[in-house]
Structure 1
Amino acid sequence: GHALGMHSYSHKYSEIYSSREAFETDLDKIHSLIYNETGIDTMLYRFPGGSANTVSRQPMSQFADILHSHGYEYYDWNIYPGDNTGRAYPKEAIVSGILGNISEYRAAIILLHDSDTHGSTVEALPEVIEGLLAQNVQFCVMDANTPAVQQISY
């Protein structure tokens, strides 16, 4: 199965993190777009750059509060094999970055990217999935019962 979550409408850090109002405008746009196109009223969100990003000059806790006021939950990740470094990233590094760290977590959320510039990520997936299954990892669809992996605390 799968779940659909929100990330951002614009993905322009300098805009969405400039103020509470700007963040809420972007949030409303992405929520409306997803709902209007799919009929899914998703409650899942991932901050661009993560909740502990170094881009926002505003406290990220205020944006988390906005999400919670709408009944949304945000999720970060606890496994990131580094596939979004802006350069060609080796398939082997993605595989080892995931398989070598998965046992550290009871509930793992893996951050991967799937755009046209991340071909090695797509190539790594069969080996990653096989390796996770060999380690008896259970795959779950994210929903309201998913433990929230979050990088900020307040």
Structure 2
Amino acid sequence: MQIPLEAWQATFDTQATEFLVAVRAAVPMMGKNGRIIAITYAPGGQTGSWQPWVAMGSAKAAKEALARYFAVALAQKGITVNIISPGACDDSVLSGLPPQVFQMIKDWHESGWTPMRRLGLPADIGNAVVLLCTDQASFITGQLLYVDGGASAMEPVFPLAIQGIK
């Protein structure tokens, strides 16, 4: 947990604070039946298993808590607030990693770490956003929706050795 306080604050500014500022700005322009959907990251703020991400995990947990508070505060206006927590996706983030690291993550998912045995696709996340924007989702608010191929239903183990912790 040797993180400089400046890095800690910057992480909170780009995750929790930006969400607060964006919601404050958007709500006055929204009509009834508006939708607010934030994107976090699995495991986000749910576990403490990925130690190098202590600031990011904490900031994501704060963002998820804000979404629940906003959901309650905005429900009477007919505005729903939800969070989508995607798992690993075959996207620019992963494909930007060194090829051997990307392949390791892909193999890990295909071997069963994710019950669907594949990486997610950006379209999987987009489809979840579309779902939450429909009239059929008008009674869904304050929820964290995992779009991770079932990985959140598993008990993932991040070996300390791959985290650089001995």
Give the TM-score category using the shorter length: 0.3 to 0.5
**Larger % of strand: which?**
2
What TM-score, normalized by structure 2, do the two folds share?
0.37
What TM-score, normalized by structure 1, do the two folds share?
0.39
**Highest Rg: 1 or 2?**
2
